[in-house]
A and B are shown apart, each in its own frame.
Chain A
Amino acid sequence: MELTELVKESLSTLALNKLRTGLATLGIIIGIGSVITLISLGQSGQKSVQNQIESLGSNLLTVEPGSASSGFVREGFGSGTTLTHADANALANSSEITTISTVSPELARRAQVVAGRNNENTQIIGVTPTYASVHKASIASGVFISQRDVDASTKNVVVGPDIVTNLFGEGSNPLGQTLRINGIAFNIVGVTESKGGTGFQNPDTYVYVPLTTAQSVLFGVNYLSTISVEAKNSNVMTEAENQIGYFLLARHKINDPTQADFSILSQSDILGAVSQVTSTFTSLLAGIAAISLLVGGIGIMNIMLVTVTERTREIGLRKALGAKRKTIITQFIVEAIILTAMGGILGMFFGLGASFIISKIINLPFTVSFSSILLAIGVSGATGIVFGWYPAQIAARMQPIEALRYE
Chain B
Amino acid sequence: MNIIEVSHLSKIYKNDSVETVALLDVSFGVKKGEFLAIMGASGSGKSTLMHILGALDLPTSGSYILDGEDVSKLSEDQLADIRNRKIGFVFQAYNLLPRTSALKNVMLPMAYSGVQLAGRVKKAEELLKIVGLSDRMYHTSNQLSGGQQQRVAIARALSMTPSIILADEPTGNLATTQRDEIIEIFQKLNRDGHTIVIITHEPDIAEHAKRIITLKDGKIDSDRVNGKKLKKLKLWN
Contacts and interface: CB of A to CB of B under 8 A. Distances in A.
Contacts of A326: 77
B80 A324 contact: yes
Task: Name A's interface SS.
Answer: helix
A54 interface: no
B64 interface: no
Interface stretch (B93-101, B122-130, B177-185): B93-101
Contacts of A401: 51, 56-57
Given A324-B77, A325-B76, A404 B113 contact: no
Contacts of B117: 5
Contact of A323 (B85, B112, B160): B112
A404 B93 CA distance: 10
A313 B77 CA distance: 19
Interface in B149-178: 156, 160
A87 interface: no
Contact of A321 (B51, B76, B77, B84): B84
A320 B56 contact: yes
B89 interface: yes
A97 B65 CA distance: 94
Given A5-B111, A404-B91, A323 B80 contact: yes
Interface residues of B, number: 26
A277 interface: no
A343 interface: no
Nearest to B96: A317
A314 B98 contact: yes
A404 B85 CA distance: 19
B158 to A, nearest CB: 13
Interface residues on A, range: 10 to 19
Contacts of A319: 80
Interface in B46-82: 51, 54, 56-57, 76-77, 80-81
Contact of B95 (A1, A317, A323, A327): A317
Nearest to A396: B76
Nearest to A314: B97
A321 B95 CA distance: 11
Nearest to A400: B56
A152 interface: no
Nearest to B92: A404
A135 interface: no
7 contacts: A1-B114, A317-B91, A320-B56, A320-B89, A322-B84, A325-B76, A401-B51
Interface of A: 1, 5, 16, 313-314, 317-327, 400-401, 404
